[in-house]
Amino acid sequence: MHFDPTIPFKYWDALLIGLGTSLRLTLICLAIGVALGFVTSQARRSRLMPVRAVAIFYVELFRGTPVLIQLFWIFYCLPMLIGAEPGNFISAVLSLSLYAGAITSETFRAALKSIPREQYDTCRALGITGLRLAIWVVLPQALLRAIPTLLSNAVALFKESALISAVGMADLMFIGSSIANRTGRPVEMLTAIAIIYFTVAFPLTRIVGRVETRILRRLAV
């Protein structure tokens, strides 16, 4: 059987639907993960030992275990603990969001370290403390410094989203694999899937470099 590059074009509409699902899920989980990551980075700086311990345990657990194992545990094991079936969509959102929160917390932690200590002292002298300090002073600066790495995290999360096909989510990988099994053309379909992932991810990686250069110039001013 010869390689036929025209095969994927016959199923282009279905592949685009799967890509849309992958992109939507990535954006949802990235938004949740960024918020969770910032909160976790703040928790790791807490003066309360139990709060720091929980935050560190969460980060190390989700950074130190495969995302596929996390997905399977939430999809298959969590229902036995809570007595309810979350479904593949909720399971996918939970696993990818928790993973994104763990990796972005490290991104924010590095960004927070680069904020001069004098700014914290000045805010406290002006009476800006607690939640107001975190939201209005710390968060904007941390986001600015973290943007390049956050974009890299977004690319990584998009690629990791291919794993959700393992629990029956109709994403790009699931639809492409289903078509490959039905047509008996795995080489053509898997090649097309790889090209689509690359087409989306590569421009983002180029953007990361440009954004990082601009931010470094701004911070140096």
| pLDDT per residue as tens digits for the range 34-81 | 999 989 988 988 889 999 999 999 999 999 999 999 999 999 999 988
Predicted local distance difference test score (pLDDT) of residue 134: 67
Q: How far apart are CA 167 and CA 163, in angstroms?
A: 8
Cα-flanking dihedrals φ and ψ of residue 65, to 5°? -125, 150
What percent of the chain stands above pLDDT 70?
87
Q: What pLDDT shows up at residue 62? A: 94
> What are the DSSP calls for 148-190, one per residue?
HHHHHHHHHHHHHGGGGGGGT--SHHHHHHHHHHHHT-HHHHH
Instruction: Check residue 71 and give its pLDDT.
Output: 95
Calpha distance 99→119 (Å, rounded): 31
Domain ranges within the chain, ordered by starting residue: 20-170
**Residue 105 has which token pair?**
């917390």
Q: What confidence tens digit (pLDDT) does each residue in 108-136 have? A: 888 777 776 776 666 676 676 666 776 76
- 67-103 burial, b at 16+ Cβ within 10 Å, e below that, comes to beebbbebbeebeeeeeeeeebbebbbbbbbbbbbbb
pLDDT for 139 equals 73
List of residues 6+ apart from 77 with CB closer than 8 A = none
pTM of the model: 0.84
d(CA 7, CA 186): 10
Reported as a pLDDT band with limits 50, 70 and 90, residue 160 is: very high
At the topology level of CATH, where does 20-170 sit?
Answer: MetI-like fold (1.10.3720)
Mean pLDDT throughout 163-180?
A: 92
Q: How far does the chain reach from its first CA to its final CA, in angstroms? A: 61
180 to 68, 124, 168, 198: CA distances (angstroms): 22, 61, 15, 19
Structure tokens at 71: 């997905």
pLDDT digits (tens, 9 = 90+) for 184-199: 889 999 999 999 999 9
